[in-house]
Amino acid sequence: MKRNTPNFGKNLAKIRRAIRSFQTPAVTQVAQKSRDPFRVLISCLISLRTKDEVTDIASSRLFAKADTPAKMLRLRESEIAKLIFPAGFYRTKARHILEISRTLMKGYAGRVPDTLEELLKLKGVGRKTANLVLTVAYGKPGICVDTHVHRISNRLGWVKTKTPEQTEMALREILPKCYWIPINDWLVTFGQNICQPVSPWCSQCPLEKDCPKIGVKYRR
């Protein structure tokens, strides 16, 4: 059964105004500098379980050495790990980066695929990363749902789901397509600075009066 459809236009306009003074997510900054799908893909992998400031530095350091699959394969796994340190799980990510680069060279002529199905075949790539590549690198319709999008969508009562994948599917049913691509940037920035996981800044939230605050125990 579908829930009552919220006024996304009004709500998202308020969120956009509230986040204007905050820095955009690191992967978005990479995309703004270059729409290169490989850079977006690798930056997104580095960003998992990693703070934005670390992602930005680590990605820049790595791309200064290798910014294509072919160049990446010239580096040793230990070199990649050192370049992206202290990103979370940097050793595992270094291995995945090499495996992905090898797969791209062998199966895709060095090109990052532009379909969800093919992206999900790459080592270490889940729906969040795949959708991010599709949306910010290729400009194709998709909804990238990370922990912030999942949490905020449930907290506001837009959806009632238990996992990010369920949230993605639920939002696909109710969210107007004009918001599919930008909603991740907006809610990530909003979630990092205002609608935080623990003790959110409800006093600074433009949706405070209408928000049901589902799951919120403490707030500021």
Q: What does the chain come to in residues?
A: 220
Please choose, from the candidates 154, 116, 153, 108, the residue with its C-alpha nearest in 3D space to the C-alpha of residue 134.
116
146 labelled catalytic: yes
* Rg over CA atoms, the chain: 18
Dist. CA 29–CA 145, nearest whole Å: 18
Dist. CA 179–CA 141, nearest whole Å: 10
Neighbours of 111 (CB within 10 A): 12
Q: Do 115 and 138 meet the contact criterion of CB atoms below 8 Å apart?
A: no
The one catalytic residue among 121, 146, 160, 217: 146
- Respond yes or no on whether the N-terminal peptide bond of residue 86 is cis (omega within 30° of 0): yes
128 labelled catalytic: yes
The greatest distance separating any two alpha carbons of the chain, rounded to the nearest whole angstrom, comes to 55
The one catalytic residue among 67, 128, 177, 209: 128
Residues annotated as part of the active site = 128, 146
